[in-house]
Structure 1
Amino acid sequence: MFLSLHKFIPCLVSSFTLYGGGGGGGGDGGAAERKAAEDRRIAAAIAQVNKIFGADSDNSEAKAEREKLYGKVATDFTNNAMVDLNKERDITGRDLNFQLARQGLSGGSRDVDANAEVTDRFNQGVLRANNLGIQAANNARSADTGTRQKIVTSIQAGLTADQAAQQAYEGMSNNAKAAADEASTASLAGFFDALRATQQQQAYNAGYSGAATPGYSTAYSAKPYYNNNSSYNGSSSKFS
């Protein structure tokens, strides 16, 4: 009986080891451990990138700085668009008053109505300038989101944490420059063209051709009222 057990035990141990009952590799040659290590690497790299972009709850300072940038993009875009809008309002008002004076309508109801049209058009322009500024800021925000998502995909494909961080900083810098460039091209030139054309026609119908008015300015008539030269992902819609 003792001899039988003595022969059986080595066979039992051998079978246990052969079918994965023992050993630290779990029977897969360490594949599971390597996958777990890769998952940890990916998670750490993604967390670092999210922190750089301020896309995590642990780096509110980075998020606040980026939101500040988006706000500046909106403000700069709106302010630049307002330059053209203010000039066109002044030109339109001046030409209108000149037409009314030539027609002997200054101070009358037609004067009041026509100048109210100029004011109303200007207020529409102010609203448009603000909306386009908000849209430019949203473009900048979307560009950052797109850049971050591309880096995350690259991390999952093998990009190292150091490489990912470098791409994150470079991407944010490029996006900020693109946003500044878009804001610098903001324009509402030509925004008053339709109103001025209507007023000219009304003057003509009244027996006075605004087209022949000395000093009538057409400085903006050939320019589009909004020039979208954006390098962002996404678009800034042109409003009519």
Structure 2
Amino acid sequence: MTPQAIKVACSNCNLRELCMPMGLSDGDLGKLDELVTLRRRIKRGSALFSNGDKFSALYAIRVGFFKTCVTTEGGRDQVTGFQMAGEIMGLDGIVGDRHTCDAVALEDAEVCVMPYDRIEDLSRDVPALQTHVHRIMSREIVRHHGVMLLLGSMRAEERLAAFLLNLVQRLQARGFSSSELVLRMTREEIGSYLGLKLETVSRTFSKFAEEGIVEVKQRHVRILSSDALRAIVNTPSWA
């Protein structure tokens, strides 16, 4: 997809609080406005970057939803995460200068391109930017630890409940409803991420619906009891 060469003012973006440092002076904000010079529009089903691509930039999602995935030796796609507006993608490429996963748009999307060499240069003048990048990297490490816990010790009900609670929490931080969401990913993709079979995901959704915890209409999910979901997650796996 050909990038758009347009000026993007981070200081005026309504997602700045989510993907940029807080509490910056006007001067520092002006410097950050020079960081993003391109936007890229990615069509649904297209890749923002692929495994093996040369790493050159981080991407702030402005509009849309993505999944990251890797291909196993058997040729199966394993979903490793879902990303939404206000989140940063591309951190996987920093270590070896090449991306180690595919980032695929789950709907038509738009990202702000932040060249990494420019981030490094600006970090010398704006220390808060470097701190912010480190914080994002730390958050990714914590998230991966959470996924390992999810896959290693939780039952199917706990995995799906934790997934729904996390998704709603992230969407709520972006001004969306705390109880209603539209799943941009398929049941199969959810299963891949949670280490569950498609049938198990569908059966668990049905179980939650029968128990009055959620209301499901295709990809529209309405959470009727967040407390019930939290209780499922907090129940010991041997109970």
TM-score between the two structures when normalised by the length of structure 1:
0.22
Structure with bigger helix share is: 1
Bigger RCO of structures 1 and 2 (CA < 8 A, at least 6 apart):
1
Bigger Rg over Cα: 1
